[in-house]
Structure 1
Amino acid sequence: MISIKTSKANIIAIVITMAFGAAFAVYAGIQPVEAIEQPTATAYKLEASNNTPAASQTAEKLVTVQTIAAKPHAITFKVGVNPYAVAEEKREAAAKAAAKKKAEEAAAKKKADAAKKAAAAKAAAAKKAALVAAAKKAAAAKAAAARRAASTVTATQTSYTTASTGRSAGTFRVTFYDPAVLGSSMGYGGIAANLSVLPRGTRVKIQMSNGQTLYRTVNDTGGFAAGNPHQIDVAMPNSQIPSAGVLSAVVTIL
């Protein structure tokens, strides 16, 4: 078996050999070289030593060409390597790998950003829900407190306004004022009181510590009411106000 590397040099050599073969055929027609007339490759080799150097080389080339032609299946061709092509393939492969890596990194970043945005939106929604729940809870507590306060006031008012005639409301501190001096036209038939204790419109009997008894209707309140709910301010002309100025009295709801 003859092994021939099919490099560019070998291909050129084969082409040259074939050209020499054709030239040799022409040359053989005009030269008296008897050995060339022999049909076998052995004959070419035997007669080569009797020929000129050029003829000898041509004979050797012919032997090779005839061997290739006779047994082409016995020849092993080894493809050569083009370093430039290999380098270009490596460069393209590296560029593709870099592009793929960049695309993967971009996709990963996009996914991370989306996850971060979703987490922020979820946290904001949870915070908003917590604020709404807190506001509802506060409103419910405020409403409950208002209901309790209203219930207390109603109970207090009921205890005084719906009580049987002549029920005592307790002992009160009594002060006096003249509505006319204050520029009021409410007259002298009323008193000012803490309206949660003595609701507006309540008719009362006032038995003062000086022995004087008065009948009045609650029609006003005053700044004293919050600090001392068991105080009443009785409307009376200045000329009739007791000299003591402040008395105590037993107040009875009528």
Structure 2
Amino acid sequence: MFKRQFAVLLTAISFLILFGFTNTSTSSAEADGSFEVSSELVKETMKPQLLKKQLQDKKDEAIRNAKLKEVQAEQARLEKIEAEQKAAQEKAKAQELAKQKQASSQAPSANNTAQNNQSQSVSGVNKGTFKLSFYDPAAMGSNMGYGGVAANLSVFPRGTKLKITLPDGTVWIRVVNDTGGFAAANPRQLDVAMPNSQVPAAGVLMATVEVIG
């Protein structure tokens, strides 16, 4: 009797377990189906907003690109203007330097001609033979001109007027207006101011020097 009741009870428990599992599976399937339907619904609902945002993003990007191109074009224009101005300034500077060089090279020639005409009859105290070297004040950034000569100031004080006669008879009249490091060790040397374009090919000459003033 007891065994029979136990078998019936076991059968009932098995039935309940089987029924519960089936019911749970069905509920889960229904729940999953509901979730899928809900996800699709959300996507369809959000789709217009996403499209609108994408269009707005593209529009904003196009505006940024257009502004960037404007800035780059303006920068290129300013750089071009600056380069043109710089080129014009350099050209004007080069022209001015060329004029100064031409004027400086012509002025000594005129001065030398006048000095040669006047100095043939001028005589003074003969100081003997001196070594002549040459330098271009303008090339050194000086505005002293080409009428001067650098010397040892203990031999020829500043302001002394000299008559310099070259071996070929050429005469220069120069005023001592400068000195240099060479003067201390070479008291019998004169450094004559002259444009580089007119410096004698020999570079160094010997000449007779007279004090005329």
Same-fold call, TM cutoff 0.5: no
TM-score of Structure 1 vs Structure 2, range by shorter chain: 0.3 to 0.5
Question: Structure 2-normalised TM-score?
Answer: 0.40
Higher alpha-carbon Rg: 1
Question: Structure 1-normalised TM-score?
Answer: 0.34
Higher relative contact order, structure no. (Cα contacts within 8 Å, ≥ 6 residues apart)? 2
